[in-house]
Every structure is written in structure tokens, then in C-alpha cells.
Amino acid sequence: MRVKELKLVITFHTTADAMAMEKCCKEANAPGRLIPVPRAISSGCGLAWCADLSEKDGLLEVMAKVGLKQEDIHKCMV
Amino acid sequence: MIYMDNAATTMRKPEEVITAVMNAMNSMGNAGRGAHAASLSASRVIYNAREALARFFNAESPKQIVFTNNSTESLNIAIKGLLEPGDHVVTTMLEHNSVLRPLYEMEQKGVSLTIVKSDKQGRISYEEVEEAVQENTKAIICTNGSNLTGNYVDVKRIGAIAKNKGVLFVVDASQTAGVYPIDVQEMNIDVLCFTGHKSLLGPQGTGGLCVREGLKLKPLKSGGSGVLTYSKEHPSDMPTALEAGTLNGHGIAGLGAAIEYLEKEGIDNIREKELQHMWKFYHGVKEIPGVKVYGDFETELRCPIVTLNIGDYDSSEVSDELLMTYGISTRPGAHCAPLMHEALGTVEQGAVRFSFSHYNTNEEIEAAIQAIKELAEE
């Protein structure tokens, strides 16, 4: 297994929201990728957006621009 | 074969649609049920189709697009998800059984109906629609175009009535989605029900709803969602709330490609070709002795449908003769619109429906006119 790192994990209410996240991040060249929600987190949707902790403000800005709402924002070992 | 049953399903599909379905069948996992490449591929394709449909119908957001198997499922979700005992609904004689039967089912549970009458040309009075709204009216539920006569129903006008009266507006767009522009916000449509396999040119087994943001519908089904596994209740967030079970991802891939095809070609251009065929056929058959054409041809605003009978001949016999002697595919008999047949006086005889595609050719239209001429002489 890979060595885990502390990461930013954004969760969503629906798969459609997770896919909207991937799309808006791609269009904005924002970093990160979709991952299965880690067990440590309780989440609605099974997909989450994972990125470096330092990217939090930039990602929230991208989401705000398209009106996308997260379920929650976590820091966890991924 | 000359295919003229496009109101039942468009048989010829754009190459892009066929390719998209094939690609999907070679690459798709289960959307929203994992984060591996195949699952994400399916989720991306489905989300793209959601976006395309939201654009196409001017929905407030792709989340308001719900995928179903067809218009019938969409209408069942809308009707059973919105109505409660004690509610009243206004609908019309133009409706297909996909509207009428769920409404009759709700009638048994205490919903009352007012069915606005049609004249002998298959037209309704918009004043009567407005007058039918009463204190306990929950919704006006009607078609955007008759599957039997091809008459267009002015949903923008009814949408304004619904808004003015403060009632919900549910539209069955089975015959018009892909033919006429539909803007759910401009037309004040709360729930638009559509099918993918007719004029949207997608695969069978695809369809959906476009639901106004904030409007809650009780789901018809509950079950797997890929979301909130440990909750005993189905998730309430859209679109998951109304999409229990694995979606028809392969079909939705085709539907997404079909919307992109329609956007590229332009539905105004497609409709122009279809209506040219319809008018050419109509003018070619309307004066033939013994031929009776049904519907309102005094307006340009029509679906590309011409329905007729020849003398007292059984419509099934005429349709069979068209196929066996001329190789022309049409639909005879009753067209799942019982009240419309009553209004037209065709309950016993049924009627032969010709419905056109932009893929039909002038030669095919001429062959169909000639066939009717010959059959009417017999």
C-alpha cells in the first residue's frame, strides 16, 4: 500500500454533484481527483474530491463560481 | 421499407448515437458505484448527458434532470409523486394513456379530474382550461402535442394560466421534445416528462423528467443509489431522489450523443424538413375522394403527423395493405389515446397514422401519396 498523507477530502450529497466537481475543476485547471470516500468519513455520496490541503481556498472558489455545494470538508489520511 | 411510424419511435438514428452506445458498451462500469476508471467513465458520460438535457430544455441545473426508461415512467413519477387525495387536476381529451391511466389510478385514491373537451378537429379551448381550475386544483397536466392528430398544444399559454392561478404545470413532451423548442423556465413548466427514443433520436429505454428546482416529488421507487448506504430511507437530494437502481448508462450515452446531434443540426432545420414532408403528404391526400384526414391543419404549428382513414375500411386493413403492397410502415388502430378517438369518432375504425422524420425523402412521400390514391380507388 502507498504511504498515506494528510489530504483535503471534499464530500458531496450526490454522484451528480461529485461529477460536477470533476468537471468544474477540470475546466478551471484546479488540482485533485475523485476517490472512493475513505471509511473514516461518513458521507452521502460514495465519491469524494481529494487534493492537497493547500488547495482548499482555490477549490472552494471554483465551487462557488458554479454554485456547487459540498456535503462536508475533511482533512484525513488518504 | 419506407418507415413512417416515427411518432411511435424514430427507427433511424444518427451514426453518432449508435457509436456512443457501442463505445459505452465497451467501456462503462456502473455509474456512481465506485471510483475506478470504468465506473467514473459511466458517471462522466451520464453527467454529460444531464448537462446536455439541462441545456436543451433550459433547466435551472443538471441536477434537475432525472433519467427514467420512458415518458410513461416519467409521467407516473410526476403524477403519483405530486398528487394527494383531495387534490383536483385539469387535463384534456388529447392525452395518451400514459397520462390518463395514472390519473385514473389516482382518481380511485381520491383525486378528482376535470378533462377539458376536444372539438372534432382535436382542438381544446384554452379558456376552458383556465375555467376548469378550482380552489383545490393541484396541477394542470397535459400533452404538448397529440400523438393521434399531431395537433400542437400551446404550453406557453397554459404555463401562463398555471402561474396566474398558482397551480403546478406538468407537460408530456413525448411528441414534441426534439421537434419544438421547450424552455421550461420561459413556459413555466414545473415538471417536463420526455422520452428519448422519438424525436430526441436516442435509444429506446431512455427518457426523463426535468423538475423545477425546489419542487419535491415522492419517489415511485426506492433502493440502491450509491449514496447513504446505511440510511433506511432513499436519499432526498436530486437527482438521486428519483433515480433508484442502476441507470441505463448505455442508453443514456446514446441520448447524450443524440442531444449533441440535435444541437449541431438545429431542431429548427430538422423540423422544417419534417413539416415539409407532412404538408406535402397532407396536400397530396386531402382531396382524394374517400380519404378523411383528422386534426387541425389550419395552423402551421403542428407535429409532423397525418392521420387518416379511407372510406369505411378498417384502419388495420389499410395499414396492412400499405405494408404488403407498398412496403410502407404506418400505425393503425387505436393509438393509446382513447378520449381523442372518441372526439374524432374513430373508436370503431381506428385510424392510420403517418409520422415523418427528417430522414424521409421526397420520393418516399410521393410513394405514400400514390399508395393512398390507389387504395382509395379500390
* Neighboring chain A residues of B238 at a CB cutoff of 8 Å: 14, 16
* Number of domains chain B contains: 2
Q: Quick one: pLDDT band at residue B186, thresholds 50, 70, 90?
A: very high
Mean predicted confidence (pLDDT) in B26-36: 87
**Domain containing B55 — which CATH number?**
3.40.640.10
- One domain, residues B338 and B189: no
> pLDDT tens digits for B11-21?
999 999 999 99
CA distance B8 to B331: 8
From B230, B265, B300, the end of a domain falls on B265
> pLDDT tens digits for B288-344?
999 999 999 999 999 999 999 999 999 999 999 999 999 999 999 999 999 999 999
- One domain, residues B331 and B346: yes
| Rounded (5°) CA angle B149-B154-B160 | 155
Mean pLDDT of chain B: 96
Q: Would you state the torsion angle of the CA atoms of residues B107, B111, B117, B123, taken in this order, to the nearest 10 degrees?
A: -100
Mean predicted confidence (pLDDT) in B245-268: 97
The whole-angstrom distance between A7's CA and the closest CA on chain B is: 17
ipTM, interface predicted TM-score of the complex: 0.83
pLDDT of residue B336: 94
* Neighboring chain B residues of A67 at a CB cutoff of 8 Å: 61
**Domain containing B313 — which CATH number?**
3.90.1150.10
Q: What is the number of CB-based contacts under 8 A between chain A and chain B?
A: 62
- One domain, residues B190 and B74: yes
Domain ranges of chain A: 6-77
Q: Which domain holds residue B195?
A: 15-265
Mean predicted confidence (pLDDT) in B115-122: 97
- CA-nearest residue to A38 within chain B is B35
Is residue A35 less than 8 Å (CB to CB) from chain B? Answer: yes
- One domain, residues B145 and B256: yes
CA distance B308 to B302: 16
Question: Do residues B76 and B66 lie in contact, with contact meaning Cβ atoms separated by under 8 Å?
Answer: no
Domain A6-77: assigned CATH number: 3.30.70.980
* Neighboring chain A residues of B28 at a CB cutoff of 8 Å: none
> pLDDT tens digits for B120-172?
999 999 999 999 999 999 999 999 999 999 999 999 999 999 999 999 999 99
CB contact under 8 A, A13 and B226: no
Q: Quick one: pLDDT band at residue A38, thresholds 50, 70, 90?
A: confident
Q: pLDDT above 90 covers what percent of chain B? A: 94
Task: Indicate which of A14, A69, A70 best probes the interface with B, i.e. most B CBs within 10 Å of its own CB.
Answer: A14
Whether B245 has a pLDDT exceeding 70, the answer reads: yes
Residue of B33, B63, B228 lying closest to A16 (CB–CB):
B63
> pLDDT tens digits for B95-109?
999 999 999 999 999
Mean pLDDT of chain A: 92
From B246, B265, B284, the end of a domain falls on B265
Mean predicted confidence (pLDDT) in B11-36: 93
**Kind and range of the H or E run holding A77:** strand A72-77
Mean predicted confidence (pLDDT) in B352-372: 98
Sign for the pseudo-dihedral over CA of B255, B56, B64, B188: negative
- One domain, residues B299 and B365: yes
* Neighboring chain A residues of B63 at a CB cutoff of 8 Å: 14, 16-17, 20
pLDDT of residue B316: 95
Question: Do residues B169 and B188 lie in contact, with contact meaning Cβ atoms separated by under 8 Å?
Answer: yes
Three cell numbers written together for B346: 374513430
Question: Do residues B258 and B200 lie in contact, with contact meaning Cβ atoms separated by under 8 Å?
Answer: yes
- One domain, residues B38 and B165: yes
Is residue B227 less than 8 Å (CB to CB) from chain A? Answer: yes
* Neighboring chain A residues of B51 at a CB cutoff of 8 Å: 23
pLDDT of residue B39: 92
Mean predicted confidence (pLDDT) in B176-188: 98
From B207, B232, B265, the end of a domain falls on B265
Whether A43 has a pLDDT exceeding 70, the answer reads: no
CA distance B18 to B197: 13
Whether A44 has a pLDDT exceeding 80, the answer reads: no
CB contact under 8 A, A13 and B35: no
Q: pLDDT above 90 covers what percent of chain A? A: 73
Strand pairing of B112-116 and B65-68?
unpaired
